[in-house]
């Protein structure tokens, strides 16, 4: 994937680069060009027309002049002939609005003219642009024309025609060359050019006005049809680029831009879906990873259940979770975690399925008011189920081993933005099943089946760990050994089951006296060991007393046998001697203190400091 740093992108379009600006300027230049072209063509056409008209007039004048000249010559000739022609020329010049008329002889001398100042002047004939056609041109090249300028800069049209040589002329002149003369007529172009200029200004003005109207119209249509959808699209793309995956653009036309908008919306939808899928996959892998870590960190069942409940609450941003697990002694535990309620652990003695299907009132609280009917259905169908309340989801995921319900994860108040689908929960279920079985096996292996306390092997292993930690950290550690007084009598008098019931209750009362970090162990028949990390030496008597009193506080029931008995325990406590102690020496000292308590009358606490 090519990543583009936002700083690399110029996010604003400069005015000069804006499409409407470029298009408008282009249109203006084009209009100017077209107008100029039209003007030029018109001017050229008119000039051609003027020249044709003026040349026609000139031709007629030349013919008339030739005839007149011939008749005057034949009538006697002499200098009056040219004066007469000059008078005629003035007359004709006025009639056709010519600047002047000159009649030249074969050498270019002005013999007659409407402008007397020109009489006698000589115009060079050969190859003189000021006398087009003179001297060399053939008859068919006439009328010959040229546009000339005066030294003052005003322009005029010069038309040259030869005077036709007739047989009459040859009566006096020796030949055609001898009789040749020319009629030169000049027309002033200034009025024409002035009119042209005026017209140019008008046409140019009209062209500009038309261009402006056109520009306004095109700009309006362009903004409506092109720029508006483009601007909307640009804004939506900006939002998408800025991370707003919900950015969509309105489709306001059915043309190509509408299609572009639809493609954009489709693409944005795809991106949103992909990102959501990635996020879901990420949530799933993080969730499963955290659970695996949690499960391997705490194989012991209640810790595992707490961990799962906490992780699910946290990762799914839920309001409440409850994780039920069946225990090795066919009871159940339930670890709950809630945003408001915090964490808690509950226990029960029936099998999990029985307990959940019975829908006892206590579950209403454990489930934070998720309907019991919903839970019962999940337990009976053994299938994952969702329910929705407002914009929150709740799911209940059964954990099944073969066909037996061994766990149930209930998660309530998951916000809609968190994607929790069946695939994710199916995978979660597989992990939870494995972890629950492992945890069950492990917990069974370290737990005493009768009392639910930890067994001796586990207790000694943990004692070794606690001893090492205390020695390394120079921290306190205490060990208490408790033994039920005259327990044999209970068995002997009330039977073994009654003894079991007493053992169970004594274990429960002893475990209830210690902190969460302390470990209560059934060490032997009716002996209990308490590992008390960080127990201050000054508090040992208090702890011992608390245990003794908890057991002695009230008679203990004999279970199914019926009735109850006052039961007491003797307690021996010792504190760690950091330098020399080992597990054996600690246990031995606690044992000795216990025997001292027995010796000194039972139902008492002895402390070795």
Q: Which is nearer to ligand GH3, 352 or 502 (CB)?
A: 502
Q: Which residues in this chain contact ligand GH3 in the complex, by CB under 6 A?
A: 450, 483-488, 491, 496, 499-500, 503, 525-526, 598, 602
Residues 6+ apart with CB under 8 A from 575: 476, 477, 478, 535, 537, 540, 608, 609
Q: Which is nearer to Mg ion, 483 or 500 (CB)?
A: 483
For residue 109, give the nearest of 89, 88, 123, 130 by alpha carbon.
123
606 binding partner (options Mg ion, ligand GH3, none; Cβ < 5 to 8 Å by kind): none
Q: Are 142 and 184 spatial neighbours (Cβ–Cβ below 8 Å)? A: no
Q: Any bridge partners for residue 103, and if so which?
A: 112, 183
Q: Would you call 455 helix, strand, or coil by DSSP?
A: coil
Nearest approach in angstroms of CB 488 to ligand GH3 is 3
Nearest approach in angstroms of CB 479 to ligand GH3 is 18
508 binding partner (options ligand GH3, Mg ion, none; Cβ < 5 to 8 Å by kind): none
500 binding partner (options ligand GH3, Mg ion, none; Cβ < 5 to 8 Å by kind): ligand GH3
Q: Are 395 and 376 spatial neighbours (Cβ–Cβ below 8 Å)? A: no
**Token pair recorded at residue 340:** 């408001």
Q: Are 343 and 306 spatial neighbours (Cβ–Cβ below 8 Å)? A: yes
| Long-range Cβ contact pairs of 380-386 (< 8 A, separation 24 or more) | 384/422, 384/425, 384/426, 384/429
Q: Which is nearer to ligand GH3, 223 or 486 (CB)?
A: 486
CA distance 369 to 144: 116
496 binding partner (options Mg ion, ligand GH3, none; Cβ < 5 to 8 Å by kind): ligand GH3
CA distance 423 to 123: 111
Nearest approach in angstroms of CB 606 to ligand GH3 is 14
Q: Which is nearer to ligand GH3, 54 or 500 (CB)?
A: 500
Q: Which is nearer to ligand GH3, 331 or 495 (CB)?
A: 495
CA 448-593-565 angle, 5° bins? 55
Q: How many residues bind Mg ion (CB under 5 A)?
A: 4
Residues 6+ apart with CB under 8 A from 359: 372, 373, 375, 376
Q: Are 350 and 359 spatial neighbours (Cβ–Cβ below 8 Å)? A: no
Nearest approach in angstroms of CB 497 to ligand GH3 is 7
CA 231-210-228 angle, 5° bins? 10
Which among 249-257, 284-292, 446-454, 482-490 is the span making contact with Mg ion, rule CB under 5 A?
A: 482-490
598 binding partner (options Mg ion, ligand GH3, none; Cβ < 5 to 8 Å by kind): ligand GH3
Which among 15-23, 196-204, 254-262, 481-489 is the span making contact with Mg ion, rule CB under 5 A?
A: 481-489
Nearest approach in angstroms of CB 606 to Mg ion is 15
Q: From residue 483, how far is each of 246, 452, 472 by CA, in Å?
A: 69, 17, 31
Nearest approach in angstroms of CB 491 to ligand GH3 is 5
Widest Cα–Cα separation across the chain: 189
Which among 195-203, 210-218, 277-285, 487-495 is the span making contact with Mg ion, rule CB under 5 A?
A: 487-495
Nearest approach in angstroms of CB 455 to ligand GH3 is 12
Q: Which is nearer to ligand GH3, 392 or 527 (CB)?
A: 527
The answer to whether 591 contacts Mg ion (rule: CB under 5 A) is no
Which 111-150 positions form the footprint of Mg ion (CB under 5 A)?
Answer: none
Q: Are 574 and 514 spatial neighbours (Cβ–Cβ below 8 Å)? A: no
499 binding partner (options Mg ion, ligand GH3, none; Cβ < 5 to 8 Å by kind): ligand GH3
Which among 42-50, 189-197, 339-347, 486-494 is the span making contact with Mg ion, rule CB under 5 A?
A: 486-494
Nearest approach in angstroms of CB 374 to ligand GH3 is 42
Out of 487, 569, 591, 606, the only residue in the binding site for Mg ion (CB under 5 A) is: 487
252: exposed, middle or buried (Cβ count in 10 Å: 0-12, 13-18, 19+): middle
Exposed e or buried b for every residue in 423-459, given b needs 16+ CB within 10 A? ebbeebbebbbebbeebbebbeebbbeebbbbbeebb
Out of 448, 483, 500, 581, the only residue in the binding site for Mg ion (CB under 5 A) is: 483
Where on the chain is the footprint of Mg ion (CB under 5 A)?
483-484, 487, 526
């Amino acid at each position: 994937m090519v990543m583009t740093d936002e700083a690399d992108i110029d996010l604003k379009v400069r005015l000069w680069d804006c499409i409407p600006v470029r298009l408008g300027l282009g249109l203006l230049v084009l209009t100017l060009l077209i107008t100029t072209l039209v003007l030029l063509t018109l001017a050229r056409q008119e000039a051609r027309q003027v020249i044709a008209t003026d040349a026609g007039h000139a031709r007629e004048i030349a013919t008339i002049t030739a005839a007149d000249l011939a008749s005057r010559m034949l009538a006697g000739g002499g200098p009056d002939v040219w004066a007469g022609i000059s008078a005629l020329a003035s007359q004709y010049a006025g009639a056709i609005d010519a600047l002047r008329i000159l009649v030249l002889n074969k050498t270019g001398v002005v013999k007659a003219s409407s402008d007397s100042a020109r009489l006698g002047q000589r115009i060079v004939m050969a190859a003189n642009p000021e006398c087009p056609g003179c001297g060399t041109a053939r008859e068919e090249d006439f009328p010959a024309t040229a546009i000339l300028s005066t030294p003052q800069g005003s322009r005029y049209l010069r038309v040259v025609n030869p005077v036709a040589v007739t047989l009459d002329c040859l009566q006096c002149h020796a030949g055609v060359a001898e009789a040749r003369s020319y009629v030169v007529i000049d027309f002033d172009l200034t009025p024409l050019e002035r009119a042209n200029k005026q017209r140019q200004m008008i046409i140019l003005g009209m062209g500009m006005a038309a261009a402006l109207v056109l520009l306004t119209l095109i700009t309006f249509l362009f903004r409506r049809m092109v720029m508006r959808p483009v601007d909307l699209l640009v804004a939506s793309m900006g939002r998408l680029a800025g991370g707003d995956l919900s950015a969509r653009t309105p489709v306001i036309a059915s043309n190509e831009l509408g299609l572009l908008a639809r493609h954009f919306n489709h693409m944005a939808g795809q991106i949103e879906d992909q990102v959501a899928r990635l996020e879901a996959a990420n949530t799933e892998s993080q969730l499963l990873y955290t659970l695996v870590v949690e499960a391997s960190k705490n194989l012991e069942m209640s810790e595992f259940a707490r961990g799962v409940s906490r992780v699910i609450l946290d990762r799914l941003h839920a309001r409440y979770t409850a994780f039920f697990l069946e225990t090795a002694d066919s009871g159940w535990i339930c670890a709950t975690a809630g945003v408001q309620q915090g964490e808690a652990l509950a226990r029960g003695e029936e099998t999990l399925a029985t307990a959940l299907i019975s829908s006892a009132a206590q579950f209403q609280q454990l489930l934070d008011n998720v309907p019991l009917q919903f839970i019962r259905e999940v337990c009976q169908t053994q299938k994952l189920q969702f329910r929705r309340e407002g914009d929150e989801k709740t799911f209940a995921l059964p954990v099944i081993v073969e066909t037996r319900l061994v766990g149930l994860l209930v998660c309530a108040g998951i916000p809609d933005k968190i994607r929790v689908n069946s695939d994710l929960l199916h995978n979660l279920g597989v992990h939870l099943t494995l972890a629950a079985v492992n945890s069950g096996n492990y917990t069974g292996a370290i737990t005493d089946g009768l009392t639910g306390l930890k067994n001796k092997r586990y207790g000694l292993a943990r004692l070794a760990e606690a001893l090492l930690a205390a020695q390394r950290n120079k921290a306190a550690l205490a060990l208490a050994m408790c033994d039920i007084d005259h327990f044999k009598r209970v068995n002997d008098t009330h039977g073994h089951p009654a003894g079991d019931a007493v053992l169970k209750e004594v274990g429960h009362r002893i475990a209830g006296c210690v902190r969460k970090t302390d470990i209560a162990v059934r060490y032997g028949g009716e002996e209990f060991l308490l590992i008390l990390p960080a127990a201050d030496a000054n508090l040992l008597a208090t702890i011992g007393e608390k245990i003794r009193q908890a057991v002695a506080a009230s008679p203990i029931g004999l279970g199914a046998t019926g009735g109850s008995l006052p039961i007491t325990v003797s307690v021996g406590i010792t504190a760690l001697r950091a330098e020399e102690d080992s597990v054996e020496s600690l246990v031995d000292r606690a044992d000795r203190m216990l025997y001292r308590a027995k010796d000194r009358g039972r139902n008492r606490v002895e402390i070795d400091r």
